[in-house]
Structure 1
C-alpha cells in the first residue's frame, strides 16, 4: 500500500509531531507533501528515510497548489491520500479527487466551537469545509469532542471515525541525565523548581496564566517550549511583571522529552484543547500535571491518570496549587494507564485498518464502541 500524507506545514506543532510519530509505525509505504514552510519536523521525517515533497504554496488562495498536488498524486500512483489540517484538507481532497486516488482520508486535529486551528471559522470557512469533506471517504476525529463538533458543522456521523492521537510512551520516560543537561544548557539551576508549559505560543493556549502566577512565587522558574505568534506578547508580559529573569523560552524544539525531564510539573492552562497530547506526554514523563481541559483524559475512567489534576485557568488558583506541590519536594510518578492506552502503535494499527477498509479489503468496525471495550 502506498500512502501520501498531505499537511499544511511541518513546524513543531501538535498535528505535525503526531504525523511524524505515526509514520514509522505504518506498514504502508508513506510519503509526505507539505504545502507551506517545512521546518524542523520535515527534516526529522526525511532523516527517517521518508520522502517529503515541498509544494511551496504562497498563501491561502494560491490555487496553483491544487495542480501541483494533482500532478504529484498522479505520478505517485498512491492508494491512499491522508490529509491533515484545514488548508491541506481543502486542497488535498480536491486534488486527490481530480487525480483519481482510490481512498481519501482526512484527520481533523483542532476544531473549536467557532474556530478551527486557532482561527475564526465563519460561514464561508464552514461551507468550504463541508463541500470538500464530501469529496473524501472518511474524516478522522482525534477525540469524541472533535467528532461532535464536526457533526455540528454538518458532517454526517456516518463519515466520522474516532481514532485518538498516540505517543511513544517509552520515548518520553523520565531521564534525569537528559533533564540535568537540559537545565544546564538553558541556564536553570539544578535545584530550581521548574514549572513547564509545552505547545504553540498562541493566545488560546493561555500561557499568560503561567506568567501571571510567577509574581510572589520566587522559588519557581518557568520553562516554555514552543513557538508562535504570541511569543513577543508573552515576553513583554514577563518583563512587565518583573519575572523575565525567571522565564526561559526555548522556541521550536524537537527535544521535548529532555525538556519534560527538566521540569518538576507540567501545566496546560488552555481551555480550547481538542485532545491534550502535551498532558499525556507529561504523564509519560512521570510529571504531576495540572490542566484546564484534556478531552483525552475525559474519555477515560477517572483513575486512568492519578497524576493529573484539573485546575482553573486562574493565576491565583494556579499559584496556590504550585506552591503546595513545591512544598512536597521533587516528585516523579510511574506512567499511568492512560499512557499505555494512547500508545502510538495502537493509533497506527487503527489508521492502517481504516485504509484497508476504504480500499475494500476488510469489514467495517465501529471505532467508538471498540474504544469503550479496549480500556482495561
Structure 2
C-alpha cells in the first residue's frame, strides 16, 4: 500500500507534528507533499526516512498547485491520498480526483465552533469545504467534538470516522538533564517556577491570559513554545504589563520534550480546542496541567488524568491555581491512563485499518494485463 500525505505546510504546529509522529508507525509506504512552507518538520520527516515533496504554492488562490499535485499523484501511483488541514484538503481532494487515485481520506485537525485553523468561518469557506469533502471517501475527525461539528456543517455521519490523535508517551518522558539544559539555553534560572504554554501564537489560544496571570505572580517565568501571527501583540502586551523580563518566547521548536522538561506546569487557556494535543503531551511529560478545554480528556472517564485540572480562562483564577502549585514545589507525576489510551501506535493501527477498509479487497490482475498497482483495487 502506497500513501501520499498532503498537508498545507510543515511548520512546527500540532497537525504537522502529529503527522511526523505517525509516519514511523505506519506499515504503508508513505510520502508527504507540502503545498507551502516546508519548515523544520519537513527536514525532520526526511531525516527519519520519508520523502517530502514541496509544491511551491503561492497564496490561497494559486490554482496551478492543483495541476502540480495531480501530476505528482499520477507519477507516484499512490493507492491512497490522505490530506491534512483545510487548504490541503480542498486542493488535495480535487487533485486526487483528477489523478484518479483509488481512495481519498482527509483528517480534520482544526475545526472549531467558529474558526477553522485560526481563520473565521464564512459561508464561502463552508460551501467550498462541503463541495470538496464530497469528492473524498472518508473524513477523519480527531475527536467526537470535531465529528459533531462536521455533522453540523452538513457532512453525512456515514462519511465521518473518529480516529483520535496519538502521542508517543516515551518520547515525552521527563528528563531533568534536558530540562536544565533547555533552561540554560533560554536564560531561565534553574530554580525558577516555569509556567508553560504550547501552541500556535494565535488569538484563539488566549496566551494573553497567561501574561496577565504571571503579572501578579513575582518569581514565575512564562515559557511560550510556538510561533504565529500574535507574537508581536503578545510581546507588546508583555512590555505594557511590565513582565517582558519574565516571558520567554521559544519560537518553533523541534525539541518539545526538552521544553516540557523545563516547565513546572503546563497551562492551556484556549476554550476552542479540537483535541488538546499539548495537554496530553504535558501529561506524558509528568506535568500538572491546567486547561480550559480539552476534548481528548472530556471524552474519557474523569479519573483518566488526575494530574489535569479544568480552569476558567481568567487571569485571577489561573494565578491562584499557579500559586497553589508553586507552594507545593516542583512536582512530576506518573503519566496517567489517558496517555496510554492515546498511544500513537493505536492511532496508526486505526488508520491502517481504515485504509484497508476504504480500498477494499484486492482484485486479481488478469494475465497479460499491463495495469499497475492502482488497478489492483476496486
Give the TM-score of the pair, scaled to structure 2: 0.95
The aligned counterpart of 1:366 is: none
**Cα separation, 2, equivalents of 1:215 and 1:135:** 50
Query: Which structure 1 residue ranges, 5 or more long, are not aligned?
Result: 363-376
> Is the partner of 2:10 in helix, strand or coil?
coil
Deviations 1:268-294 (A, max 9, x none): 000010000000000000000000000
Contact 2:81 2:105 in 1 (8 A): yes
Correspondences of 1:51-130 after superposition (within 5 Å): 51-130=51-130
**Cα separation, 1, equivalents of 2:47 and 2:321:** 42
CA displacement at 1:347 relative to structure 2? 0.3
CA displacement at 1:254 relative to structure 2? 0.6
The aligned counterpart of 1:370 is: none
Deviations 1:220-261 (A, max 9, x none): 011000000000000110011000001100001011100000
The aligned counterpart of 2:181 is: 181
The aligned counterpart of 2:194 is: 194
Query: Which structure 2 residue ranges, 5 or more long, are not aligned?
Result: 363-378
Contact 2:130 2:153 in 1 (8 A): yes
The aligned counterpart of 1:16 is: 16
**Cα separation, 1, equivalents of 2:215 and 2:230:** 20
Residues paired across the two proteins, number: 362
**Cα separation, 1, equivalents of 2:242 and 2:93:** 49
The aligned counterpart of 2:159 is: 159
The aligned counterpart of 1:324 is: 324
**Cα separation, 2, equivalents of 1:349 and 1:66:** 30
Correspondences of 1:272-351 after superposition (within 5 Å): 272-351=272-351
**Cα separation, 1, equivalents of 2:79 and 2:216:** 58
> Is the partner of 1:351 in helix, strand or coil?
helix
CA displacement at 1:114 relative to structure 2? 2.2
Contact 2:113 2:272 in 1 (8 A): no
**Cα separation, 2, equivalents of 1:361 and 1:204:** 44
Deviations 1:91-148 (A, max 9, x none): 0001101111011000000111221111111111111111100110000000001000
**Cα separation, 2, equivalents of 1:354 and 1:215:** 48
CA displacement at 1:58 relative to structure 2? 0.5
Runs of 4+ in 1 over 2 A off after TM superposition: none
**Cα separation, 2, equivalents of 1:358 and 1:108:** 17
Contact 2:183 2:262 in 1 (8 A): yes
The aligned counterpart of 2:5 is: 5
Contact 2:11 2:38 in 1 (8 A): yes
CA displacement at 1:215 relative to structure 2? 1.8
The aligned counterpart of 2:37 is: 37
**Cα separation, 1, equivalents of 2:331 and 2:297:** 21
**Cα separation, 2, equivalents of 1:312 and 1:178:** 31
Deviations 1:61-96 (A, max 9, x none): 110011001100000000000000000000000110
Deviations 1:178-222 (A, max 9, x none): 001111111111111000000000000000000001122112011
**Cα separation, 2, equivalents of 1:257 and 1:271:** 24
**Cα separation, 1, equivalents of 2:361 and 2:245:** 59
Correspondences of 1:112-151 after superposition (within 5 Å): 112-151=112-151
The aligned counterpart of 1:227 is: 227
CA displacement at 1:331 relative to structure 2? 0.5
